[in-house]
């Protein structure tokens, strides 16, 4: 079994966390991993807010319907999707064009296509924000697992309360809270997954 597959099998959504502290460099590692997720047109329309202080976690705790894991975690990362990500796509593609990974003609076609897709379609903007933020969550959690951290993605929260607590602008949609810390139960096992033959057509 490969190390990657071992990470997949070892990762659990932790039921609780014990006291721990996460460093700035450790947080940076997790966010860097998250940014390797794919996104449509290379929008990279995700945003991360690390909630670490007790005061900030207390506010987030109430915004997330008083889920205890918020207070137990070393940090809770609010992963948001940027609703207006298509507007700065030119900037997001510039480095890849300069590196010769894509040519300028391709970049311009993506920019035009993204504008046509999202400019007059708020539902499409919302859907893409959720897709991108969700895709970014998985490499973040796997990177945490690699470094000995437990994680738990959480979707139970009041969107507007989280937006206010995290200081997010209106063009950022909170999609997931990912609690990260040291597992309270180090022996917690991953729940059994459905067999591939039952879900593949």
The residue-averaged pLDDT of 3-22 equals: 95
Predicted confidence at residue 185, as pLDDT, reads: 94
The answer on pLDDT for 201 being more than 90 is: no
Q: Which residue has the higher pLDDT, 196 or 109?
A: 109
**Residue 4 backbone dihedrals phi, psi, to 5 degrees:** -65, -45
CA angle 89/124/162 to nearest 5° reads 85
Please, what is the average pLDDT of the chain? 97
Predicted confidence at residue 200, as pLDDT, reads: 87
Predicted confidence at residue 24, as pLDDT, reads: 98
Distance CA 118, CA 127 (A): 10
Superfamily of domain covering 4-183: NADH Oxidase (3.40.109.10)
**pTM summary value:** 0.95
C-beta of residue 77 within 8 angstroms of C-beta of residue 177:
yes
Distance CA 95, CA 108 (A): 14
**β-pairing, 150-154 with 17-18?**
unpaired
Helix (H/G/I), strand (E/B), else coil: 122: helix
């Amino acid at each position: 079994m490969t190390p990657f597959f071992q990470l997949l099998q070892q990762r659990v959504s932790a039921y609780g966390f014990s006291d721990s502290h996460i460093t700035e460099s450790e947080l940076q590692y997790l966010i860097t991993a998250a940014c390797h997720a794919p996104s449509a047109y290379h929008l990279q329309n995700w945003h991360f807010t690390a909630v670490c202080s007790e005061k900030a976690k207390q506010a987030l705790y109430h915004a997330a319907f008083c889920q205890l894991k918020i207070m137990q975690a070393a940090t809770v990362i609010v992963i948001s999707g940027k609703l207006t990500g298509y507007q700065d796509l030119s900037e997001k593609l510039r480095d890849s064009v300069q590196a010769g990974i894509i040519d300028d003609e391709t970049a311009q076609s993506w920019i035009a296509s993204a504008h046509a897709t999202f400019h007059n379609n708020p539902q499409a903007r919302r859907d893409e924000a959720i897709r991108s933020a969700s895709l970014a969550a998985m490499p973040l959690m796997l990177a945490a697992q690699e470094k000995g951290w437990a994680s738990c993605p959480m979707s139970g929260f009041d969107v507007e309360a989280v937006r206010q607590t995290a200081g997010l602008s209106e063009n950022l949609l909170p999609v997931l809270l990912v609690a990260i810390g040291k597992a309270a139960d180090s022996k917690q096992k991953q729940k059994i997954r459905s067999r591939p033959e039952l879900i593949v057509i």
